Structure 1
Amino acid sequence: MIIRPTFALASLLLIGPFAQAEDNKITPTLESVDVSHQGTTQTITRGADRHATLPEMFQKTERGCPPFCVQPMQALPGVETIGELEVLDYLSRIHQGDASILVVDSRTPDWVMRGTIPGAVNIPWNRLNTDPSGSLQQAGEAEDLGQILTEQFGASQDPSNSQWQFNDAKTLVLFCNGIWCAQSTANLKTLAGLGYPVDKLKWYRGGMQDWLSVGLTAVKP
């Protein structure tokens, strides 16, 4: 049975203080967050259009599994699952000069072109992905992975034994399309398998679908 509000209740909802507010804060005390995106400052806010809807690509409720399977709440033991406010905090810290953090959009470029989180760096999941046996699929991928680990993630290799060192590696915040997207999950497993400290790996499970569902700013490259 569907319960609909009575006229009196509906009127109360319409004239309440939240309905009268012209702005739309992120939290009661947070109106916006400045982040660094491609060399410029971008301000993240929530949209004030009360009639806004999700983009069509995120309106589906049915997706084939595999590959679009619902992801667990914890990607890996020790990897923290975070939400929008934590992502905003990491982005703000980067904007304020903290170079020890990197927010990574794990999606392929065709998805990123439709919009991404301001301040995120796109490193497509298949540049880090390994096959089910745990080995890189092609020699070129190993070189690509090594370049990403050193130049973007801050890891290094011990010249004596070629083992990866992560003492100075960045804290990575990974996301993809949403709770039905396994791309960032795959990357977390790959990185942990290489020895990346799990306490330096963070997972924004909700991804772009949750980000857009609460009206937060997205940007196109």
Structure 2
Amino acid sequence: MKFVKALMLTALVSGVAFSSQLLAADGNQITPGLQSVEVTHSGEKVIITRASDKGAKIPGTFAKVSRHCPPFCIQPATVAAGVETVGELEVLGYLKRIGDGDRKVLVIDSRTPDWIIRGTIPGSVNIPWNKINVDLQGTFEVAAEAEGVHDILVNQLGVQDVKGNLDFRNAKTLVMFCNGSWCPQSSTNIKTLIKLGYPTYKLKWYRGGMQDWVSLGLTTVNK
């Protein structure tokens, strides 16, 4: 009898422990059916999850809410006609496609390298906004072609140069983001790309950017 009671107690404790593990796992899922997304960043495998630490807070870099406008004015929900505004789940979907080998998609961090070291989305590539737009005053109001933008289009974005004319038929789908809904860097780049002929249906805008990403406890990397 003592053996049976001991066995039942062991099973009960094991069951509680197992249930606790399940609850812990469920507690930081991205969605009920999505635990994580695996990507490659700078040649290394990174698993994107949500923070499991119940005491985790938004990093100080992105905790600031006061931003001088201009240039840091609140962006509209739609950056341009035909360009889809996306959220975190859509970004994760594109990252999963890239992780599965889809070379027709790029998730682009439009910020300058000094911001990248403070944290970026794993699986994204950095094409600084000022490589496409020139604005030395930092107002983001100048929509001029930067030196080298042609090379970026052809060498990184899948655009073809056919006898001096840009052919966008095989251009990659771009998911662009910057610091947040107050940051005009990625939206300015999107508008410039449209002027250069980039198809709007191949441009996606993650308006919430890094501030929304970290507020949801999603994984970041610092390079």
Determine the structure 2 residue equivalent to 1:153.
Answer: 157
Match of 1:51 among 52, 55, 60: 55
Matched, 1:105 2:109: yes
Q: Distance in 2 between matches of 1:184 and 1:177?
A: 9
The residue correspondences of 1:1-221 to structure 2 (distance < 5 A) are: 21-23=23-25, 24-130=28-134, 134-136=143-145, 141-142=146-147, 144-159=148-163, 162-221=164-223
Determine the structure 1 residue equivalent to 2:10.
Answer: none
TM-score when normalising by structure 2: 0.84
Judge conservation of contact 1:102–1:120 (CA < 8 Å) in 2.
Answer: yes
Q: Distance in 2 between matches of 1:107 and 1:207?
A: 10
Judge conservation of contact 2:75–2:183 (CA < 8 Å) in 1.
Answer: yes
TM-score when normalising by structure 1: 0.85
Moved over 2 A (4+): 130-136
Judge conservation of contact 1:130–1:190 (CA < 8 Å) in 2.
Answer: no
The structure having more radius of gyration, on CA atoms, is 2
Unaligned runs of at least 5 residues, structure 2? 1-18, 136-140
Q: Distance in 1 between matches of 2:67 and 2:90?
A: 28
Q: Distance in 2 between matches of 1:202 and 1:90?
A: 10
Displacement, 1:38? 1.5
Unaligned runs of at least 5 residues, structure 1? 1-16
Judge conservation of contact 2:61–2:118 (CA < 8 Å) in 1.
Answer: no
Displacement, 1:156? 1.4
One-letter amino acid matched to 2:222: K
For residue 150 of structure 1, give the secondary structure of its aligned residue in structure 2: helix
Judge conservation of contact 2:194–2:200 (CA < 8 Å) in 1.
Answer: yes
C-alpha RMSD of the superposition: 1.7
